[in-house]
């Protein structure tokens, strides 16, 4: 049995000395307090050695045992310190009150040393279990925070959730995928200094990553000059098509500032975005020791092809995506024509998105700041 440090709280010196001898006889260290206020001061003293358990009297002047116990359990730091009430008050009401307030046990002052030892060991064992549980939860939180640095927040949460394994194993769902690709990045990389390239990529990734989090997209991968994000998985989003378009517009507008800054330095960098909606199979892909959360389906391929097809500064979306987004909010767009894309046997009807609209009194109008 490990030695515990136990605080004895009693206003009668004889009673305190008796309990101290009992505690020392069974291998524990004892600390004394003559009333409830002194006990709380000692427990809250961060410079003193930690108290593992409290033996608390009920009948005390100024601040009695009930008040002391209530103050302990109301304190976020002290509430888990086990309290055994040892009192000459043996009324049933007092026993019930203390147990309901959170006392670990209630013993008479004429307690047998072996019984006291057994109750102390049981209370300390329960405290160790609670401490271990708290440490485990803290470890899980730390691991989740670390995961969130490498995974999308939704995927990090999925990995540690109860239904995560079934979702990771694979499932089918309608999603909206968005590919974003830089134009002239190869020429920029060849002419700019490596430090300039790295500086631009950091600013670019930070700006676009912030918008992905803001719009609650799931980032599948982030390459040097492009990335793929999808919506409606693993968290369901009924407005996933509109979300993707809204994020694309925000990215185009945010990128304009970055592009203008680098244009002044002699580097012309542009952004092309493609968006498509359709069913995909999603889940864990990779091998033991290195997994990613990915999506496979025609919507992914189509979004990639549309991104490649989009001219600098354009947001090119599939007709299905435009129709689904329009059901949630007005989208300002013009027909983008039927595009012949690699891997598709038929021409794909598209729209060129210029901005978002809003409905006011049944009428649609452009939102402030949207491009036209």
Same domain, yes or no: 220 and 350: yes
Kindly state whether residues 296 and 239 are assigned to the same domain.
yes
- Domain assignment present for 21: yes
Residue 239 has pLDDT above 70, yes or no: yes
Q: Are both 277 and 354 inside the same structural domain?
A: yes
**pLDDT > 90: what percent of the chain?**
51
Q: Domain count for the chain, please give it.
A: 2
Helix axes 113-150, 13-25, angle to 10 degrees: 70
The residue ranking higher by pLDDT, 95 or 144, is: 95
Q: Which residue has the higher pLDDT, 168 or 204?
A: 204
pLDDT of residue 271: 93
pLDDT tens-digit profile of 284-329?
A: 777 776 677 788 999 999 999 999 999 999 999 999 999 999 999 9
Last residue of a domain, one of 147, 182, 214: 147
Tell me which of 147, 180, 215 is where a domain ends.
Answer: 147
Q: Is the link from the previous residue into 234 a cis peptide, with omega within 30 of 0?
A: yes
Find residue 283's DSSP bridge partners.
Answer: 294
When pLDDT is averaged across residues 339-343 and rounded to a whole number, the result is 93
- CA 243 vs CA 239, 326, 329, 360: distances in Å: 6, 11, 10, 20
Domain assignment present for 156: no
Residue 111 and residue 228 in one domain: no
3-state secondary structure of 12: coil
Residue 319 counted as domain residue: yes
Is the pLDDT score of 169 beyond 90?
A: no
How far apart (Å, rounded) are the C-alpha atoms in residues 361 and 340?
40
pLDDT at 136: 82
DSSP H helices, 173-279, are 185-191, 194-214, 240-263
Q: According to the per-residue pLDDT averaged within each range, which of 44-58, 85-99, 222-236 is highest?
A: 44-58
- 233 assigned to some structural domain: yes
Identify whether residues 123 and 215 lie together within a single domain. Answer: no
DSSP 353: E
Per DSSP, the three-state class of 274 is strand
Q: Is the pLDDT of residue 364 over 60?
A: no
Distance in angstroms (rounded) separating the CA atoms of residues 324 and 240: 9
CATH number for the domain harbouring residue 79: 3.40.50.2300
| DSSP 8-state class, residue 311 | P
What is the distance between the alpha carbons of residues 67 and 79, in angstroms, rounded to a whole number?
14
Cβ-proximal residues to 197 (8 Å cutoff; 6+ apart), any chain: 188, 189
Query: Which pLDDT band, with edges at 50, 70 and 90, does 369 fall under?
Result: very low
**What's the pLDDT at 165?**
66
For residue 372, pLDDT beyond 50? no
Please name which of 337, 295, 297, 301 lies closest in space to residue 316, comparing C-alpha atoms.
337
Question: Rg (Cα) of the chain, in Å, rounded?
Answer: 33
Could you tell me if residue 157 is inside a domain?
A: no
Query: Within this chain, do residues 176 and 304 fall inside the same structural domain, yes or no?
Result: yes
Per residue in 351-363, pLDDT (tens digit) is 999 998 875 555 5
Is residue 202 located within the same domain as residue 90?
Answer: no
Question: CATH number of the domain that 180 lies in?
Answer: 3.30.70.1230
Q: What is the pTM of this model?
A: 0.60
Q: Are residues 180 and 83 in the same domain?
A: no
For tokens 């996933």, what's the residue? 240
Give the count of alpha carbons within 13 A of 311, CB side only: 5
In a domain, 99, yes or no: yes
Q: Please determine, for residue 171, whether its predicted confidence score (pLDDT) is greater than 90.
A: no
Name the DSSP letter for residue 347: -
Please state, for a pLDDT cut of 70, what percent of the chain lies above it. Answer: 88
Residues 177, 94 share a domain: no
Residues 57 and 204 reside in one and the same domain: no
| Domain housing 127 | 5-147
Q: Which helix (H) or strand (E) holds 317?
A: strand 315-318
Cβ atoms of 219 and 148 closer than 8 Å:
no
Domain end position, chosen among 147, 177, 195: 147
């Amino acid at each position: 049995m490990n030695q515990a440090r136990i605080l004895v709280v009693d206003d009668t010196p004889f009673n305190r000395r008796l309990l101290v001898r009992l505690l020392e006889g069974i291998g524990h260290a004892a600390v004394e307090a003559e009333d409830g206020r002194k006990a709380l001061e000692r427990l809250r003293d961060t410079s003193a050695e930690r108290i593992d358990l409290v033996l608390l009297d009920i009948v005390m002047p100024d601040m009695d045992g009930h008040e002391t116990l209530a103050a302990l359990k109301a304190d976020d730091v002290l509430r888990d310190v086990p309290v055994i009430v040892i009192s000459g008050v043996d009324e049933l009401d007092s026993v019930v009150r203390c147990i309901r307030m959170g006392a670990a046990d209630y013993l008479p002052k004429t307690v047998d040393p072996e019984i006291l030892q057994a109750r102390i060991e049981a209370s300390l064992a329960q405290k160790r279990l609670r401490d271990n549980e708290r440490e485990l939860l803290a470890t899980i939180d730390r691991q989740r925070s670390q995961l969130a640095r490498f995974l999308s927040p939704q995927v990090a949460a999925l990995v540690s959730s109860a239904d995560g394994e079934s979702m990771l194993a694979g499932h089918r769902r309608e999603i909206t995928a968005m590919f974003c690709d830089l134009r002239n990045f190869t020429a920029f990389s060849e002419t700019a200094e490596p430090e300039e390239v790295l500086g631009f990529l950091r600013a670019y990734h930070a700006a676009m990553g912030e918008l992905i989090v803001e719009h609650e997209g799931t980032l599948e991968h982030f390459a040097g000059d492009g990335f793929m994000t999808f919506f409606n998985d693993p968290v369901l989003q009924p407005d996933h098509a509109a979300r993707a378009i809204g994020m694309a517009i925000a990215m185009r507008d945010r990128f304009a500032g970055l592009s203008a800054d680098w244009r002044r330095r002699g580097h012309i960098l542009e952004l092309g975005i493609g968006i498509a909606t359709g069913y995909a199979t999603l889940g864990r892909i990779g091998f033991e020791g290195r997994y990613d959360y990915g999506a496979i389906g025609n919507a992914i391929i189509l979004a990639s092809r549309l991104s490649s097809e989009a001219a600098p500064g354009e947001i090119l979306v599939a007709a299905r995506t435009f129709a689904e987004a329009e059901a949630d909010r007005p989208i300002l767009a013009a027909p983008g024509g039927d595009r012949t894309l690699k891997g598709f046997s038929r021409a794909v009807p598209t729209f060129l998105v210029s901005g978002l609209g809003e409905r006011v009194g049944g009428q649609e109008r452009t939102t402030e700041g949207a491009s036209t």
